[in-house]
Homo-oligomer: A and B are copies of this chain.
């Protein structure tokens, strides 16, 4: 077995050294009746690399590959071009096969990367500080709501109808058990976001208002007024960003008064991967640092006075504080954070701006062409690289029909909001730099047919 270095002579020699006569002597603590003497029935035996690769290749070929067809899906996961060097970097064994940096003297690589990552995230979000990553955007969102609760000592959160429905579901699931109250609503196929509803709903029990920017339909609303209204009542504004590339072009939530900004980092460096692993970004004002969940890398000096980095403020964390910890998170998403920071370093201020502009320009062009299809209308006044179309037909079957034509034409709101009649005809279309003019031609043609 290729992954097992011990040879049979090794095993015998070691058993002898231990003073055991057989391996079973080492399993004496397992009650006889619980011990399996033989192999588990019905499972295959070990296989060669060639055989395993063949099997996995066969499975992979049963999926339609985004890069091989006209592709327009978004809604929380975006397809961007990731430079080849990013994948090379994350495959360095010293990054790939190391553990959480508990021994800083031999983990400066990971620790400096995390310190750089935290700084990039904080600046991108317009906040003072950021942590070293969470599982993903949806879990980071719930952690932010919890954190707002700890800070305000209130437990009523108001969620924007523009918040990704999966994020809402996660919050709803958790709130049931923590006893938090959540105000939620479904979005409307309308250019207007629900800023007014949110502002109206804020009261003295409100811990936070949670707003996605740009929102699930691609709309971009000013967070300033919401922040003011929240602050006026001692509540916090939690902003959620599912497409960080947008921040190359539009204002950072922190600049507009958001107290906690969380989001999904997937679209920079990570890739689609059928939904995971992704990387949660988490930033806030410095004054809230002790209420923050997750790891934090901090600067210090070593015994010779050389600059170095360590994991710090761990008195917030489960391994020190146990049931009093700010979160139960342990393993987070450091390798994806590395991919994110490496890609963002390659982009830099200039590259991110260019990438964002390119995305927006392509999206604008595509929106115009698609909205020109008879019966199809664009609901957005504003958007970045994703917008919502109202079709003359139900969008969900339309998407399946387009698959028949080899086009992955977008995400139907029917998939995201099952059973919500008012949203049934909504199709969310994302257009990134990876979309070619030919792709848009194909989508337009397909959409015309299914709408005809």
Contacts and interface: CB of A to CB of B under 8 A. Distances in A.
Contacts of A83: 49
Interface string A409-438: 000000000000000000000000110000
Contacts of A53: 81, 84
A50 interface: yes
A81 B50 contact: yes
Contacts of A2: 346
Interface string A47-69: 01110010000000000000000
A88 interface: yes
A134 to B, nearest CB: 29
Nearest to A96: B88
Interface residues of A, number: 15
Interface string A305-345: 00000000000000000000000000000000000000000
A181 B10 CA distance: 57
Contacts of A91: 88, 91
Contact of A50 (B49, B88, B346, B434): B434
Nearest to A346: B2
A296 B440 CA distance: 58
B81 A49 contact: yes
A198 to B, nearest CB: 39
Contacts of A81: 48-50, 53
Question: Which of A81, A91, A92, A346 has the most CB atoms of chain B within a 10 A radius of its CB?
Answer: A81
A366 to B, nearest CB: 17
Contacts of A434: 50
A85 to B, nearest CB: 9
Nearest to A354: B48
A83 B49 CA distance: 7
A56 to B, nearest CB: 11
Contacts of A49: 81, 83-84
A81 B433 CA distance: 36
A44 to B, nearest CB: 17
Contacts of A50: 81, 433-434
Interface in A1-53: 2, 48-50, 53
Nearest to A358: B48
A298 to B, nearest CB: 29
A83 B52 CA distance: 12
Interface of A: 2, 48-50, 53, 81, 83-84, 88, 91-93, 346, 433-434
14 contacts: A2-B346, A48-B81, A49-B81, A49-B83, A49-B84, A50-B81, A50-B433, A50-B434, A53-B81, A53-B84, A88-B91, A88-B93, A91-B91, A92-B93
Given A48-B81, A49-B81, A49-B84, 7 more contacts: A49-B83, A50-B433, A50-B434, A53-B81, A88-B91, A88-B93, A91-B91
